[in-house]
Amino acid sequence: MRILLVEDDELLGEGLRAALARDGHAVDWLRDGEHARRALSGDEAWDLVLLDLGLPRRDGMGVLRDMRRHSDAPVLIITARDRIEDRVEGLDAGADDYLVKPFEIAELKARLRALGRRRGGRAAAEVRHGALVLLPESHEAQWDGRRVELTRREFALLSALVENAGRVLTRERLEQALYGWSEDVDSNALEVHIHHLRRKLAPEFIRTVRGVGYTVD
Amino acid sequence: MFSIRRYLLATLLAVATLSMAVTAWVSYHEADHEVRELFDAQLAQSARVLVATLTTRPLLPESDSSDTVVFPVWKPVAAGDEEPDPRGQALVGHKYETRLVFQLWEGAGERLLMRSSNAPVVALAPFAAGYAEIELDGERFVVFTLQHEGLWLQVAHDDYMRDELAGEIALATVLPNAVGIPVMALLIWLLLGRGLRPLSALRSAIARRSGGNLSPVHVSPSSVELEPMVDELNDLLARLGESFERERRFTADAAHELRTPLAVLRIHAENALAAGADDERRTALEMLLRGVDRAARLVEQMLTLARIEPEAAPRTFMPLRLDALVREELAALAPVAARRGQEFDFSPAGACMVRGDRALLGILVRNLVDNALRYSPPDSLVHLALRAGARGEVELAVEDEGPGVPAELAERVFERFYRAESGRGDGAGLGLAIVRRIVDLHGGTVEARSRSAGRRGVFIVRLPAAPSG
């Protein structure tokens, strides 16, 4: 998933970024509310926004209300504010979930997966598409009942394609799903990952739409 | 324990009883005197009547007889004593009559012509006209002696009668009052209870409230004596309330502010555990250490903030030289500054005396300088200026080469846990709150400014100057 992390605390942000990247998520990290507001009102799209509330320059609640005018990306609030009124206010302002610091990464990831499922219109934990079964929780993939070893990038790429099955995803969209802003990306990295996936699954499973991108039927 | 009600009851009763005793004593003596006058007059009158009677009626013995006529004294008839006196005495009389004694002498003690049956045969008193006091059968008698044509008449009555009468009169005056004492005691007790009602109202007003209730106490009915006490009590409650509220807010803030550092520790620890590669683990552990340092610093700053509260420790304010104090603190901070190649430039304008607490002012200077070092780039210079201000204050300015504080945040930076640029530095957001609190305790002011828009932050502390001595 491509995740926008809005967190002003340097150490916490670094920790979250590292933890999410390990799971193959592409993390873009902003450190204040004003930047977050501008980024969210731009053209870029994120699969999920991790939003701290106590932000410099613009409060997290303000960022949330602004973005809800034009975006319905899932928002998970991570904050030190633990009062019921704060939670209610956050959820009512358009947040999809609310997590109070300090939290376990396992719980954060589970909530991310749950939000990802809802976004894909599913409730079950596993993703099924034809012969393919994806288990986001364990990062496992099965093809025709046999287990397939995937790297985290491959898994993330496959998830993005399957969740948008029937739609063509552009190169840029897929690259964004794989890499955060701060990462250097080889120009043919995407092709390499697609090539590996076709080899591990079936050559015809991922279809190339020439000049546009890729799709899963 | 001392009881106002019991004390007042006892003293009021004592005063009432004493005044009653004095009244009784005075009326006894007054009565005694009057009775004596009356009795003396009566005695004299009796003597005269007796002499007149005796000299006109020949009751006296013949002049050659040595006999003495004995005049029987009337005695009250005892109950059941049917037989009247053989000498045919009148049945009517008075018990006090028994106490009348008389003697009729021929010449001054030559021959006793007549005597009452209760009189002795020797002269009652020396033969001199007038009153005399004698003792007869162990009792005091007053004697009146009268001379009439060679006859001496001595009439005496028992002083006991007089005492008894005077006593009875005094008792009659005092007794009704004495009977009233228990009634008075009861009334005083009840009225005191009523008068002390404001006290019990205060007691129950205090007793009724719960431990957490620090709102002002209202006493109804109150009184002019109690009102100042209630006011003082309410003042104390208000101060306690402020103090509690500060504590409560601080605890809440602290618990809240510890969440993020804890989240940091947790996430880096988990990252270290989950890391696949050694360098990944190493990075996570380094971050974890930084997180621990930051949490430790936060806790330390919170403790400092808690300790500078006046309730935490009594403060000793005395005149001291701020320039010397700043120099000492700078010397202590120099190694910290040197690590990032930073230096100080301190220019005091002579000896600047302020009245303050040495330890608190040390913390103040340390926090200001520490703040300047944190927000200044490496190899920069922190300027400190100290001079006498225009209105009898001492002005300490700390200027750094950091970004400064935007005008709209100039007040907010002094709030607890507020960090102007939270991404930068590892401050806990308490240093400036500590500075503000110490300045407040010294009756001074502090402001944050930005010199030349967004560059160079300046913090100016003004403290009341002490007369230099």
Q: What is the ipTM of this complex?
A: 0.71
For domain B233-305, which CATH number applies: 3.30.300.130, 2.40.480.10, 1.20.1250.20, 1.10.287.130?
1.10.287.130
A56 CB near a chain B CB, below 8 Å?
yes
Phi, psi dihedrals of residue B247, rounded to the nearest 5°: -60, -45
A110 CB near a chain B CB, below 8 Å?
no
* pLDDT value of residue A99: 93
Chain A positions in Cβ-Cβ contact with residue B422 (cut-off 8 Å): 8-9, 56
Q: Which residue has the higher pLDDT, A180 or B458?
A: B458
* pLDDT value of residue B88: 47
Q: Where in chain A is the domain with CATH 3.40.50.2300?
A: 2-119
Q: Where in chain A is the domain with CATH 1.10.10.10?
A: 127-216
Query: Are B259 and A100 within 8 A, CB to CB?
Result: yes
Strand, helix or coil at B432?
helix
* pLDDT value of residue A176: 82
Residue B405 confidence class, pLDDT cut points 50, 70, 90: confident
Residue A88 confidence class, pLDDT cut points 50, 70, 90: very high
For domain B4-75+89-168, which CATH number applies: 3.30.70, 3.30.310, 3.30.420, 3.30.450?
3.30.450
Query: Are B267 and A15 within 8 A, CB to CB?
Result: yes
Q: Exposure pattern of A79-97 as b/e (b: 16+ CB <10 Å)?
A: bbbeeeebbebbeebbbbb
pLDDT of residue B418 exceeding 80, the answer is no
B413 → chain A, closest CA residue:
A56
Residue B420 confidence class, pLDDT cut points 50, 70, 90: low
A105 CB near a chain B CB, below 8 Å?
yes
Contact B453, B464 (CB under 8 A): no
Contact B465, B443 (CB under 8 A): no
* pLDDT value of residue B95: 62
Note every long-range contact of B96-100, with CB atoms under 8 Å and residues 24 or more positions apart, other chains counting.
Answer: B96/B161, B97/B73, B98/B73, B98/B74, B99/B157, B99/B158, B99/B160, B99/B161, B100/B46, B100/B73, B100/B155, B100/B156, B100/B157
Of the partner residues A10, A12, A81, the one whose CB lies closest to the CB of residue B263: A12
Region A172-195 average pLDDT: 83
Strand, helix or coil at B75?
coil
Note every long-range contact of B8-17, with CB atoms under 8 Å and residues 24 or more positions apart, other chains counting.
Answer: B8/B188, B8/B192, B9/B185, B9/B188, B9/B189, B9/B192, B12/B188, B13/B181, B13/B184, B13/B185, B13/B188, B16/B181, B16/B184, B17/B181
pLDDT of residue B111 exceeding 90, the answer is no
Note every long-range contact of B12-15, with CB atoms under 8 Å and residues 24 or more positions apart, other chains counting.
Answer: B12/B188, B13/B181, B13/B184, B13/B185, B13/B188
Q: Are strands B318-321 and B381-388 parallel, antiparallel or unpaired?
A: unpaired
pLDDT of residue B271 exceeding 80, the answer is yes
Q: What is the pLDDT of residues B40-90, one digit of tens each?
A: 888 888 888 888 877 776 666 666 666 777 777 666 555 555 544 444 455
Strand, helix or coil at A161?
helix
Show Cβ contacts of residue B422 under 8 Å, excluding neighbours closer than 6 positions.
A8, A9, A56, B429
Query: Distance (Å) from the C-alpha of residue A61 to the closest C-alpha of chain B?
Result: 17
* pLDDT value of residue B286: 92
Region A24-35 average pLDDT: 90
> What are the C-alpha distances in Å from A143 to residues A122, A134, A150, A205, B27?
20, 9, 11, 11, 129
Query: Are A101 and B291 within 8 A, CB to CB?
Result: no
Query: Are A18 and B271 within 8 A, CB to CB?
Result: yes
Chain A positions in Cβ-Cβ contact with residue B415 (cut-off 8 Å): none
Residue B371: closest CA among B416, B435, B439: B435
Strand, helix or coil at B151?
strand
Place of tokens 């699969």: A47
Query: Are A9 and B265 within 8 A, CB to CB?
Result: no
Of the partner residues B257, B264, B421, the one whose CB lies closest to the CB of residue A15: B264
Q: How far apart are CA B350 and CA B323, in angstroms?
A: 8
H-helix segments, B91-226: 159-195, 197-208
Chain B positions in Cβ-Cβ contact with residue A14 (cut-off 8 Å): 287
Residue A28: closest CA among A20, A75, A213, B268: A20
Query: Distance (Å) from the C-alpha of residue A158 to the closest C-alpha of chain B?
Result: 22
Q: Which residue has the higher pLDDT, B137 or A205?
A: A205
Residue B129: closest CA among B152, B117, B118, B145: B145
**B424 token code pair:** 């930068």
Query: Going edge to edge, which strands form the sheet with A169-170?
Result: A169-170, A213-216, A206-209
Does 3.20.20.70 match the CATH number of domain A127-216? no
In angstroms, the first-to-last Cα distance of chain A is 20
Chain B positions in Cβ-Cβ contact with residue A50 (cut-off 8 Å): none
Residue B463 C-alpha from the chain's centroid = 40
* pLDDT value of residue A74: 92
**B434 token code pair:** 């500590």
* pLDDT value of residue B288: 92
pLDDT more than 70, % of chain B: 88
**A20 token code pair:** 């999410």
Contact B92, B84 (CB under 8 A): no
β-strand partners of A99: A78
Query: Are A11 and B257 within 8 A, CB to CB?
Result: no
B287 → chain A, closest CA residue:
A11
* pLDDT value of residue B74: 61
Chain A positions in Cβ-Cβ contact with residue B290 (cut-off 8 Å): 11
A13 → chain B, closest CA residue:
B264
* pLDDT value of residue B350: 80
pLDDT of residue B3 exceeding 50, the answer is yes
**B174 token code pair:** 């005092």
Chain B positions in Cβ-Cβ contact with residue A8 (cut-off 8 Å): 422-423
Taking the CA atoms of residue A74, residue A78, residue A82 and residue A84 in that order, the dihedral angle to the nearest 10 degrees is: 0
Phi, psi dihedrals of residue B12, rounded to the nearest 5°: -65, -40
Q: Residue A147 is inside which H or E element, if any?
A: strand A146-148
Q: How far apart are CA A30 and CA A53, in angstroms?
A: 13
Q: Output the CA angle B420-B340-B301, nearest 5 degrees.
A: 45
A79 → chain B, closest CA residue:
B260
**B140 token code pair:** 């005091």
Region A87-97 average pLDDT: 92
Contact A73, A49 (CB under 8 A): yes
* pLDDT value of residue B91: 56
Sign of CA dihedral B191, B192, B198, B204: negative
Contact A135, A126 (CB under 8 A): yes
**Least confident piece of the model among A88-97, B158-167, B232-241, B455-464:** B158-167
Residue A148: closest CA among A217, A214, A196, A207: A196
Query: Distance (Å) from the C-alpha of residue A57 to the closest C-alpha of chain B?
Result: 9
Q: Exposure pattern of B405-425 as b/e (b: 16+ CB <10 Å)?
A: bbeebeeebbebbbbbbbeeb
- What DSSP line would sit under B317-353, residue for residue? -EEEEHHHHHHHHHHHHHHHHHHTT-EEEEEE-S--E
**Which range, B9-13, B84-88, B251-255, is most confident?**
B9-13
* pLDDT value of residue B87: 47
A104 CB near a chain B CB, below 8 Å?
yes
pLDDT of residue B323 exceeding 70, the answer is yes
**Which range, A26-35, A174-183, B412-421, is most confident?**
A26-35
Chain A positions in Cβ-Cβ contact with residue B265 (cut-off 8 Å): 102
* pLDDT value of residue B267: 92
Residue A77: closest CA among A57, A56, A103: A103
- What DSSP line would sit under B260-276, residue for residue? HHHHHHHHHHHHHHH-S
Query: Are A22 and B420 within 8 A, CB to CB?
Result: no
pLDDT more than 90, % of chain B: 13
Strand, helix or coil at B81?
coil
The ranges assigned to domains in chain B are: 4-75+89-168, 233-305, 315-464
Chain A positions in Cβ-Cβ contact with residue B294 (cut-off 8 Å): 11
Chain B positions in Cβ-Cβ contact with residue A16 (cut-off 8 Å): 267
Of the partner residues B264, B267, B426, the one whose CB lies closest to the CB of residue A105: B267
Q: Which residue has the higher pLDDT, B76 or B306?
A: B306
**Least confident piece of the model among B10-14, B63-67, B179-183:** B63-67
Residue B16 C-alpha from the chain's centroid = 26
B412 → chain A, closest CA residue:
A56
Mean pLDDT, chain A, whole residue set: 87
Contact B140, B86 (CB under 8 A): no
Query: Are A102 and B256 within 8 A, CB to CB?
Result: no
pLDDT of residue B359 exceeding 70, the answer is yes
For domain B315-464, which CATH number applies: 3.30.590.20, 3.40.50.300, 3.30.565.10, 3.40.50.970?
3.30.565.10
Residue B58: DSSP 8-state? -
The hierarchical CATH code for the domain A2-119 is 3.40.50.2300
Q: Are strands B69-71 and B100-106 parallel, antiparallel or unpaired?
A: unpaired
* pLDDT value of residue A108: 93
Query: Are A80 and B257 within 8 A, CB to CB?
Result: yes
